[in-house]
Amino acid sequence: MKKNMQGGFTLIELMIVVAIIAILAAIALPAYSDYTKKAKVSEVLLSASSLRTAVSEYAASNNSLPPSSYSGFESQSSKFVSSVGWNGSVITATAQSIGAGVDGSTITLSATLNASTGAVDWTCAGSIPQKYRPGSCKG
């Protein structure tokens, strides 16, 4: 008698593979979401950096921080940045279209002038959760 052998996988084997893939996806998707939010938040900080450079140049030339009416910078906005502003001592960049927990939140760069050197020291803070902020803005 010839034994009829069929190759292939059984239903239970296929179900186990599908379950393993589902578990891996359940772990990977939230981590991926956090990584994409973190990348978008870095754009918010980058948009504030151009104003930070303009303020530092003003302070180096005039040995004082610019007034709140200072307009010697190009306004930065993008898909993920709704606005960047200067109030005389703090740069505020507001996030948009990034995701829940971040939209409408801000990154702030507080300026402190070192009168003896004319350099500006910056402190990064804001209402964006720390887990999404770039490494240079965690404190």
Please state, in angstroms and as integers, the Cα–Cα distance from residue 12 to each residue in 6, 15, 20, 21, 50, following that order: 16, 5, 12, 14, 58
> What distance in Å separates the CA atoms of residue 83 and residue 17, rounded to the nearest whole number?
48
pLDDT of residue 5: 66
pLDDT of residue 110: 93
pLDDT of residue 69: 87
pLDDT of residue 139: 61
pLDDT of residue 68: 86
User: Under a CB-based contact definition with an 8 Å cutoff, are residues 119 and 60 in contact?
Assistant: yes
Q: Domains of the chain by range and CATH? A: 11-137 (3.30.700.10)
DSSP string, 58-101: HHHHHSSPPPTT---S-----SSEEEEEE-SSEEEEEE-SS-TT
Count, residues in the chain: 139
Model pTM score: 0.76
pLDDT of residue 3: 64
User: Under a CB-based contact definition with an 8 Å cutoff, are residues 90 and 50 in contact?
Assistant: no
pLDDT of residue 91: 93
pLDDT less than 50: residues of the chain: none
pLDDT of residue 90: 94
